[in-house]
């Protein structure tokens, strides 16, 4: 997978994405309870909103390793964090990177753990980044039936491309960790203890109207790839129009007085390394 190609549209739409995720990020930080002076590893840091907030909480006596597989994200975050010398952006694959000397007090992740090809190997490796008794808190999406953020585009694709097969829910992707039992077992088998999960209902609050959110999702999502694989190339524009209209209608159903509030359900996973 070309992670850099995927990263660039996210960076271009950084503001509405970070606005949408902000309530969930705050919930994650509350559960992580970072303290001044602690050492933190942010897995799948993306454009860096969580890393920057974590850095503010631990202060200059602490440190944050902002880790991502996409060099584009790391380059972007290096610029964003230029005034925070205690933020260290690092590019690498969490499944294989040598975390043994990190000695972190906490590992956090905002929707950055669901894309591993081999999640058991990845979590066992991430566990090595923690000091004895160190804690991990990360958040993932619950199933699509609880998340119109994904089901609205899913229905639009199904309408435009009826021959497209349904995705494998266990395959690497944003919804891969919706099965709580599977994930908690995975963490226990990867060297963690005190494993728990908490489902929380919330709302996503992106910037803009339904048409703006749709334009953003069309930019960051795999729509053109799906059309090229399961549709007729000469009909691409017509199919995109069908998808766009369906998504605008779908997101428009969640219009509030002055914004869009999309219902969402997320899962906060917590665990610790054996003391």
**pLDDT surpasses 90 at 36:** yes
Could you tell me if residue 164 is inside a domain?
Answer: no
Q: What is the mean pLDDT of the chain?
A: 95
Structural contact between residues 207 and 15, judged by C-beta atoms closer than 8 angstroms: yes
Give 225's pLDDT tier (boundaries 50, 70, 90): confident
**pLDDT surpasses 80 at 1:** no
What is the reported pLDDT for 234?
A: 82
Range of the domain at 83: 3-146+169-207+260-273
| DSSP character string of the chain | --HHHHHHHHHHTHHHHHHHHHHHHHHHHHHHT--TT-EEEEET-TTSHHHHHHHHHH-TTSEEEEEES-HHHHHHHHHHTTT-TTEEEEE--TTTS--TT--EEEEEEES-STT-SSHHHHHHHHHTTEEEEEEEEEEEE--GGG-HHHHHHHHHHHHH-TTSPPP-TTSSSTTTT--HHHHHHHHHHTTEEEEEEEEEEEEE--SS-HHHHHHHHHHHSSHHHHHHHHS-GGGHHHHHHHHHHHHHHHHHTTB-SSSB-EEEEEEEEEEEE--
For 176-203, the pLDDT digits (tens) are 999 999 999 999 999 999 999 999 999 9
Beta pairing class for 192-204 and 130-141: unpaired
Alpha-carbon span 157 to 225, nearest angstrom: 11
Could you tell me if residue 29 is inside a domain?
Answer: yes
Domain count, the chain: 1
What is the reported pLDDT for 80?
A: 97
Give 261's pLDDT tier (boundaries 50, 70, 90): very high
CATH code, 125: 3.40.50.150
**pLDDT surpasses 90 at 170:** no
**pLDDT surpasses 90 at 235:** no
For 50-72, the pLDDT digits (tens) are 999 999 999 999 999 999 999 99
Could you tell me if residue 255 is inside a domain?
Answer: no
Could you tell me if residue 216 is inside a domain?
Answer: no
Q: What percent of the chain has pLDDT over 90?
A: 84
**pLDDT surpasses 90 at 169:** no
Region 238-261 average pLDDT? 92
Selected residue with higher pLDDT from 3 and 73: 73
For 88-147, the pLDDT digits (tens) are 999 999 999 999 899 999 999 999 999 999 999 999 999 999 999 999 999 999 999 999
Could you tell me if residue 237 is inside a domain?
Answer: no
**pLDDT surpasses 90 at 233:** no
**pLDDT surpasses 90 at 2:** no
Could you tell me if residue 188 is inside a domain?
Answer: yes
What is the reported pLDDT for 14?
A: 95
Alpha-carbon span 93 to 2, nearest angstrom: 13
Could you tell me if residue 109 is inside a domain?
Answer: yes
What is the reported pLDDT for 259?
A: 83
Alpha-carbon span 192 to 183, nearest angstrom: 12
Could you tell me if residue 250 is inside a domain?
Answer: no
What is the reported pLDDT for 168?
A: 85
Among the residue ranges 133-137, 139-143, 237-241, 249-253, the one predicted with the least confidence is 237-241
**pLDDT surpasses 90 at 216:** yes
């Amino acid at each position: 997978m070309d992670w850099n190609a995927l990263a660039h549209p996210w960076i271009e739409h950084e503001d509405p994405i970070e606005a949408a995720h902000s309530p969930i990020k705050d919930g994650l930080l509350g559960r992580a309870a970072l303290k001044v002076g602690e050492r933190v590893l942010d897995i799948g840091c993306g454009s860096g909103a969580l890393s920057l907030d974590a850095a503010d909480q631990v202060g200059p006596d602490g440190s944050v390793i902002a880790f991502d597989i996409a060099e584009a994200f790391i380059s972007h975050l290096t610029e964003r964090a230029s005034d925070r010398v205690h933020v260290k952006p690092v590019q690498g694959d969490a499944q294989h990177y040598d975390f043994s000397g990190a000695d972190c007090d906490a590992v956090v992740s905002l929707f950055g753990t669901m894309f591993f090809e081999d999640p058991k190997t990845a979590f066992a490796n991430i566990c090595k980044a923690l000091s004895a008794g160190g804690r991990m808190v990360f958040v993932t999406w619950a199933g699509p039936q609880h998340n119109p953020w994904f089901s609205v585009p899913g229905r639009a694709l199904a309408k435009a491309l009826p021959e497209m097969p349904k995705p494998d829910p266990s395959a690497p992707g944003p919804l891969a960790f919706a099965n709580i039992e599977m994930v908690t077992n995975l963490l226990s088998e990867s060297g963690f203890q005190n494993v728990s999960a908490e489902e929380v209902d919330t709302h996503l609050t992106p910037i803009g109207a339904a048409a703006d959110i749709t334009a953003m999702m069309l930019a960051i999502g795999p729509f053109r790839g799906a059309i090229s694989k399961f549709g007729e190339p000469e009909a691409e524009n017509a199919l995109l129009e069908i998808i766009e209209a369906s998504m605008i209608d779908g997101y428009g159903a969640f219009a509030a007085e002055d914004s869009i509030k999309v219902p969402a359900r997320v899962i906060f996973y917590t665990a610790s390394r054996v003391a």
